[in-house]
Copies of this chain bind each other. A is one copy, B any other.
């Protein structure tokens, strides 16, 4: 049986998830090495049987044993790391976003294309079992022509202000997942974006020039409309819902709950809240996306999400930002 020889760059929160999945759930992967500037994470990778540890990314890439790299480094290194890996002829799996600048993303795309390696951008939600089921129903024509997409995406609490300073803000670090989901479901490109937003959760977020609550409307080239609402803080948990309305019906997915208990007393009926941690909510999707990457490499198939997806979601996020600032509808042709 062919195995894929993998190296992981950056053993932070996402790096640990991918490392543990690759080490314990993949029988067709050899985990060759990890790289991280912080040598303290070496214990973690050793525990899972990874033998080589590199402080420098370039050494990981230059390890002849490594065929594919999983890039989980900080966002501002993604573009650089993809380019280095591509030039070295390694297959690449990279956490989103590719970068916060469209021109950089474009440049990365060109390098990847020239190199001939495969690049997968980790839009993990596409691999969530609920959303897979929704996408499949849409593809099977069960709702006819999609007309209205509704996405609710609310975090259980805001990230630290330090994160917001460099993340690009709500549209680029949070809503970008929902823009990708809308594109994924419709299977078409967006032509117009309108976004509005407020600071409701924390005034400090406003001081950074960002918002914490927003609604975006996307119009697609085929007329489909999407409305996406985001909040940095839903006190009742991590609210992740999708609904697709079409000419022959409606489909969607409700939240994954913490459990399935019910309770009735004289005051009402009561039940569980949504899972409130993204790693629990999307545990299956992190495994599934990695499985898709590994399987495609094994069978030399086209990867399900690539640089184009990364670029388009970023562009929609930039359009939303501009729409909010200029209080007007923004055409995608102004951005791309």
The answer to whether B251 and A198 touch across the interface, beta carbons within 8 angstroms, is: no
Q: Given A142-B265, A263-B251, answer yes or no on A148-B225 (Cβ-Cβ < 8 Å).
A: no
CA distance A266 to B254 in the complex (A): 18
CA distance A227 to B201 in the complex (A): 19
The answer to whether A196 and B213 touch across the interface, beta carbons within 8 angstroms, is: no
Q: Given A215-B217, A269-B272, A272-B269, answer yes or no on A248-B263 (Cβ-Cβ < 8 Å).
A: no
Each complex incorporates copies of this chain amounting to 4
CA distance A250 to B245 in the complex (A): 23
CA distance A145 to B145 in the complex (A): 37
A253 at the binding interface (Cβ < 8 Å): yes
> Smallest CB-CB separation from A224: which chain B residue?
B198
A291 at the binding interface (Cβ < 8 Å): no
Contacts of A266 in B (CB 8 A): 235-236, 248-249, 273
Number of interface residues of A (CB under 8 A): 68
> Smallest CB-CB separation from A214: which chain B residue?
B225
Bitwise, A156-200 to B at CB < 8 A (1) or not (0) is 000000000000000000000000000000000000101011101
Q: Whole-angstrom distance from the CB of A273 to the nearest CB of chain B?
A: 6
Contacts of A271 in B (CB 8 A): 268-271
A334 at the binding interface (Cβ < 8 Å): no
The answer to whether A264 and B254 touch across the interface, beta carbons within 8 angstroms, is: no
Q: Which of A29-37, A56-64, A82-90, A129-137 contacts B (4 or more CB under 8 A)?
A: A129-137
A260 at the binding interface (Cβ < 8 Å): yes
Contacts of A269 in B (CB 8 A): 236, 270-273
The answer to whether B129 and A245 touch across the interface, beta carbons within 8 angstroms, is: no
A329 at the binding interface (Cβ < 8 Å): yes
The answer to whether B255 and A251 touch across the interface, beta carbons within 8 angstroms, is: no
CA distance A252 to B271 in the complex (A): 10
CA distance A54 to B93 in the complex (A): 42
Contacts of A298 in B (CB 8 A): none
Bitwise, A130-152 to B at CB < 8 A (1) or not (0) is 10011001000011010110101
The answer to whether A268 and B273 touch across the interface, beta carbons within 8 angstroms, is: yes
The answer to whether B225 and A227 touch across the interface, beta carbons within 8 angstroms, is: no
CA distance A191 to B142 in the complex (A): 39
The answer to whether B270 and A268 touch across the interface, beta carbons within 8 angstroms, is: yes
Contacts of A196 in B (CB 8 A): 192, 194, 217, 219, 225
Bitwise, A306-336 to B at CB < 8 A (1) or not (0) is 0000000000000000000001110000000
A229 at the binding interface (Cβ < 8 Å): yes
The answer to whether A261 and B265 touch across the interface, beta carbons within 8 angstroms, is: no
CA distance A137 to B264 in the complex (A): 11
CA distance A145 to B200 in the complex (A): 9
The answer to whether B249 and A264 touch across the interface, beta carbons within 8 angstroms, is: yes
Interchain Cβ contacts under 8 Å between A and B, 5 examples = A235-B249, A250-B262, A254-B260, A268-B271, A328-B328
**Beyond A196-B219, A252-B261, A268-B272, 19 extra complex contacts between A and B, CB < 8 Å:** A133-B259, A133-B261, A134-B261, A148-B213, A150-B152, A150-B229, A194-B217, A229-B245, A235-B248, A235-B249, A235-B265, A236-B250, A236-B265, A248-B266, A255-B260, A256-B260, A268-B273, A270-B271, A271-B271
